[in-house]
Amino acid sequence: MSELSRIGVAIDSDLLDKFDRLIAERGYTNRSEAFRDLIRDELVEKAWASPNKQVVGTVTLVYDHHVRLLSEKLTELQHTHFRCILSTMHLHLSHDYCLEVLVVKGKASSVKKIAGALISAKGVKHGRLTITTMGEDL
């Protein structure tokens, strides 16, 4: 970790009150850590906007496994992109629904494309790509 720099920030009192309430709800006990996390979040978003940047994240899918050929399609997609899909967790949520969480890693453009193909498959009720960082640049 590099040395700490201290900065002063001028901010509207009303905005600061809103910020304090927001970070309290999120469990922060001080502003500095909340500011640092906001900055890191923006930097991670920026990294994901660079198509060739190596990124890591998770894809969460909820789907009805009775939808014809859906399970096969999702499995086929995962095998096609096995180099980018590092791990998969499958839970049988109920009689009908499954939850899958995939850990994905690779070029930002590839990971987004794979996530899009999985999430947009017919029968997937909800899907989300969560983007995070390899940790080294922050």
Sheet containing 124-132: give its strands across. 85-92, 97-107, 54-64, 124-132
CA dist., res. 13 & res. 29, Å (int): 19
Among the listed ranges 11-19, 51-59, 75-83, 97-105, the one in contact with Ni ion (CB under 5 A) is: 97-105
**Closer residue to Ni ion, CB minimum distance, 89 or 138:** 89
Burial class (CB in 10 A: 0-12, 13-18, 19+), 127: middle
Of 18, 46, 66, 92, the one binding Ni ion by CB under 5 A: 92
**Closer residue to Ni ion, CB minimum distance, 98 or 118:** 98
Collect all residues with Cβ–Cβ distance below 8 Å to 101 and sequence separation of at least 6.
Answer: 58, 59, 60, 61, 88, 89
Among the listed ranges 21-29, 44-52, 91-99, 113-121, the one in contact with Ni ion (CB under 5 A) is: 91-99
**Closer residue to Ni ion, CB minimum distance, 55 or 118:** 118
- Tell me the closest approach of the beta carbon of residue 65 to Ni ion, in angstroms: 5
User: Does 18 sit near Ni ion (CB under 5 A)?
Assistant: no
Which positions touch Ni ion (CB under 5 A)? 92, 98
